[in-house]
Structure 1
Amino acid sequence: MLLGLQLAVGDVLELGLGELAVLVVTVAATFAVTVLVGRRMGVGRPLRLLVATGFSICGAAAVAAMAPVAEADDDDVATAVALVTLYGSGTILLVPLLAGVLGLADRTAGLWAGLAVHEVAQVVAAAGAVSGVALAAAVVAKLARVVLLAPLVAGVSVAVRRSSAPVPGRRRPPLLPLFVVGFLVAVALRSTGLLPERLLTHTSVLTTVLLAAAMVGLGAQVHLRRLLRTGVAPWGSGPCRPSPHSA
């Protein structure tokens, strides 16, 4: 929920209509292609939904948001988080390298990083290695991707409800998890411009600590043997991202 305090609607509006269109198409294509490839490789629906969401939106936080909707277990969540961390870390080195080889302008390289890299911290590292201009563009593009988390989760929830019959005594997945609603409320509060900068700084640190604690807690519940039993298919479905070079 606190991640929403790092995002203001005005930041998203700094992007032009063309750049926003590329962003939406990139997110939609990444999600759809990853789900399709995962299905072809025999990856279960919960895991492929988690991987697709983590890769297309914002890494571990997006995985956590999709988990209750996808009815995923702890091992699925751990595998998805491992995938977005592994491949996202690789892009920290790959994006600046490719930007130099392709001769991309700094703003274009920043947009590429913002559209292609998973976690916010990974985006900052990748774009910061290019220039300050690239970093500024990358952060805005990344935050714009985060905004799409709520509609994506809600859309998948509706699809899951329609495709599966209700089981007596079993609760159906929520249309939108409450903490995602809280995230949207936090975005609205940040967008008012009324929150003091000192408060935003403290909540940013708290957000990082809480997310790290959640990941440690998740890892403590996962048995390595069970994780390895998921096979190699999910690890092959990870890097299914259309190139955002058109940005």
Structure 2
Amino acid sequence: MGTTVSIELADDRPDDELGRLIAGVCDWLHEVDARFSTYKADSEVSRFGRGELRLEDASADLRHVLEVCADLWRDTDGYFDAYASGSLDPSGYVKGWSVEVASRRLAEAGSHDHYINAGGDIRMRGHHPEGGPWRVGIRHPWEADKVSWVLALTDGAVATSGTYERGDHIINPRTGQAAKGLRSVTVVGPDLAVADAYATAALAMGEAGIAWLAKRAADGYDSAVVTDDGRAFSSANLPAAV
């Protein structure tokens, strides 16, 4: 998926059993990359985007992703758009979804204390190896060695979308131009796939995304935002560490 993934298991289990759990996560993420990579011409999503694969012949995973992306397009008034770049690219949902699925599979296998970080999209459950919640630093959007917020969670997801690493890679689908107004958007909630999509949509909206995100708090999705001119906003229930 063009990023680094780190996996930390804090369960008290033999090393070989922990190794098998991690290997299972890695196998799943490689499967997702092979199916959904927009950089691989033979991936399922690339073949579907070129019209070489019919929807009825697509995998259950691809059909699920396309259906949810359509729902998110409606829920975000078109700002989450898998076709914003002109061709099919559901990456704004897929990365978070793949990690959410991996976390759920670990939990079903009995791993109740774990942390998966895929390029800043993070899903954690249970407790840190030293006890207490997992702590997540949200990078300062101008000073890479500093953080804007530190979050503390025992069960939840954190997704951050910003322009400070990859530049203007988020498109405002209304204008067809690079999104402007927000430098960094972090969304915290129960489902990483949704949090990831909301962060992408809000960044595409620009400053209007601040008010839109505030309404998502009623559904359990809190947020922290930094604007292009350096102003910071956060929702009342953001799980900031003391």
TM-score tier after normalising by the smaller chain length: under 0.3
Higher strand share: 2
TM-score of the two chains, using structure 2 as the length reference: 0.28
State TM-score, norm by structure 1.
0.27
Higher helix share goes to which structure? Answer: 1
